[in-house]
Structure 1
Amino acid sequence: MDEERQHAYLTLINALLTCPSGEEGQILQDNAELVDAGLLETMAQVAEAFADRGDENAAQFLIGMANQLGEFLGLSDSTATPEAQLRFLMQVLQATSYSDGNPQVIYPLLQENLHLLDDNFAQILYDWGTAKLAEVEAEPAQAIAATIGNFSNLIQQFPLGSQATNLEIAITGYEVILTIFTRENHSETWATLQNNLGVAYSDRIRGERAQNIENAIASYQAALQVRTREAFLATGLRESRQVGFSRIISRGR
């Protein structure tokens, strides 16, 4: 994307953000030559920047506008593009943050966008997550990581679509945020993530079963390095670990 066109996209986005309500359609019509996939990609980037600054209203406005334009341009059909998947990742993470991980909010959103949930979506989550967490300060990094963790919990339990893909996305999310929630700095959260990874690997459909079992056991054992048996019992994590081991045993027979 050349610099001149990028500047034109940003000027158009600013006009949409600052115009009186109801004039957006006319502005888009007057700038029809700029309404393309590049504009949608730039909208997603600007929305991300607004979200990072805490301006959720502007971020949500741009994500909603990008989704509507994507449908108009035929970019939200059954063929998932990386641009559409990145926009959806921004949308679902913002919705997760807004709703505090409410499945009644997130699951309908996932259901409407099942065609975007594939292995490439997991890769986009990994690429965006690792890059974003590396570039921001500690406090916003923890907030972003917590949102990714909540989303990973939700999609791990999401009953629709491909269970195999949902688990891959969840595993990716957990592994990305383990770079922020380390054993040294966030031991309790780290232990919870290790437990969640253990459950995900014990349920995993992709990959070699023996390796998945090995990864699951390693994650459960890592969690137990931090939490005592009593702590696991008090928080319910011991029970989920036992369920995980029972899954491993039953699948190994």
Structure 2
Amino acid sequence: MAMADNTSDGQLDFLLEVLQAIASSNGNQQVVEKLLEANTDKLNDKLAEILRAWAIPKLAEAEADEAKFIAAVIGNFSNLIPEFPLGDKASTIEIAITGYEVALTVFSREAFPFDWAITQNHLGLAYNNRIIGDKAQNIEEAIACCKQALRVFTFEAFPYEWAMTQNNLGIAYGDRIKGEKAENIEDAIACYQEALRVYTFDAFPIEWARTQDNIGIAYGDRIKGEKPENIEEAIACYQEALRVYTFEAFPEDWANTQNNLGNAYGHRIKGEKAENIEEAIACYQEALRVRTFEAFPVGNKRWHLLYSVLS
């Protein structure tokens, strides 16, 4: 059996092989994931260091067109690797962050405004999901990146990308630790509502449903306003999301929203308490059609929490 080559040279060879596969396959996720699956031992923080050490001088000495091509491939790699289900999640996010930062050495706002903005947006999402480092500061970085992206992604010029960034900014505000919690939630709601100016049910049903679900979460957490009304808003948003998130088409999203709806009914103030609890139980039981023990065993937080609620 061949020994895994986790030397610097071995990891650099692997990195170059992955980048070549992305370039050759035009970023085909299945092609790239097969390569990653065979080398999960190399998906660590050291790979992020090697990526930076190789790419920075390579991009600096490359001709403009070549540098743009390499930066785009690295950006594509950074988009794909956080979605890879195997390996250490903290490390894959660090690799993605490094890749985006490297790409931004080529994609300046002045020379490549769209590429700069989309990379800022992706970098913001990566920082919001970051595991390593101070969580509060990571979220501040995420907010800053999204705001940078919005300097280019305006409603008038790039409506879809503007809405996408507003949604990501809303997520970051919803997770924010610094500042006043009540104000952060208001900012999150405002961002989601802005996104819905573009994400309509007819034009972008999936994005619309995702944003409805996000608004529902924000209203459920809302501090300002009347609590009973906030919960009613949350319930309405989840019910809207379920117009798109059906069991057949989007089973996991459907289950997540059923779970969120169950939480909202469990906290509902309006209506009959007994009926609200029955509604909550019904939603949780629906969610368990997808969140089975086999798919989400006891070690999985989502299955365990849902089962605990029904126990």
TM-score by length of 1: 0.66
Kindly indicate whether structure 1 or structure 2 has the higher relative contact order, using CA contacts under 8 Å at least 6 residues apart: 1
Alignment equivalent of 1:209, drawn from 121, 124, 135: 135
Residue segments in structure 2 that go unaligned for 5+ positions in a row: 182-311
Contact 1:203 1:247 in 2 (8 A): no
Alignment equivalent of 1:239, drawn from 150, 164, 167: 164
1:239 CA displacement = 2.9
Contact 1:202 1:248 in 2 (8 A): no
Per the alignment, residue 46 of structure 1 pairs with none
1:104 CA displacement = 0.7
Q: Deviations over 1:112-135 (max 9, x none)?
A: 100011111000000001010011
Per the alignment, residue 15 of structure 2 pairs with 89
Letter in 1 for 2:171: S
Aligned 1:191-206 pairs, distance under 5 A: 191-206=117-132
Distance in 2 (alpha carbons) for counterparts of 1:93 and 1:232: 29
Contact 2:124 2:146 in 1 (8 A): yes
Contact 2:139 2:176 in 1 (8 A): no
Alignment equivalent of 2:84, drawn from 135, 150, 158: 158
Partner-residue secondary structure (3-state), 2:81: helix
Per the alignment, residue 67 of structure 2 pairs with 141
TM-score by length of 2: 0.54
Distance in 2 (alpha carbons) for counterparts of 1:240 and 1:213: 14
Distance in 2 (alpha carbons) for counterparts of 1:229 and 1:199: 20
Distance in 2 (alpha carbons) for counterparts of 1:167 and 1:203: 8
1:248 CA displacement = 4.4
Contact 1:156 1:167 in 2 (8 A): yes
Taking only aligned residues, the RMSD between alpha carbons, in angstroms, comes to 1.8
Contact 1:103 1:154 in 2 (8 A): yes
Q: 1:225 to 1:244 in 2, by over 3 A?
A: closer
Alignment equivalent of 1:249, drawn from 169, 174, 180: 174
Partner-residue secondary structure (3-state), 1:155: helix
Distance in 1 (alpha carbons) for counterparts of 2:169 and 2:12: 32
Partner-residue secondary structure (3-state), 2:50: helix
Letter in 2 for 1:85: Q
1:219 CA displacement = 0.3
Contact 2:114 2:152 in 1 (8 A): yes
Distance in 2 (alpha carbons) for counterparts of 1:194 and 1:166: 18
1:157 CA displacement = 1.7
* Pairing 1:228–2:154 present: yes
Contact 2:121 2:146 in 1 (8 A): yes
1:81 CA displacement = 1.3
Q: Deviations over 1:58-90 (max 9, x none)?
A: xxxxxxxxxxxxx75x3x25xx21111001011
Q: 1:114 to 1:241 in 2, by over 3 A?
A: farther
Q: 1:223 to 1:240 in 2, by over 3 A?
A: closer
Alignment equivalent of 1:106, drawn from 32, 38, 43: 32
Alignment equivalent of 1:174, drawn from 81, 100, 104: 100
Contact 2:117 2:152 in 1 (8 A): yes
Partner-residue secondary structure (3-state), 1:159: coil
Distance in 2 (alpha carbons) for counterparts of 1:102 and 1:244: 28
Per the alignment, residue 118 of structure 1 pairs with 44
Q: 1:230 to 1:163 in 2, by over 3 A?
A: farther
Per the alignment, residue 132 of structure 1 pairs with 58
Letter in 2 for 1:186: F
Distance in 1 (alpha carbons) for counterparts of 2:114 and 2:94: 24
Q: Deviations over 1:208-233 (max 9, x none)?
A: 01110111011000001111134453
Letter in 2 for 1:93: L
Flag as ranges the 4+ runs of structure 1 deviating above 6 A.
Answer: none
Aligned 1:19-38 pairs, distance under 5 A: none
Contact 2:146 2:168 in 1 (8 A): no
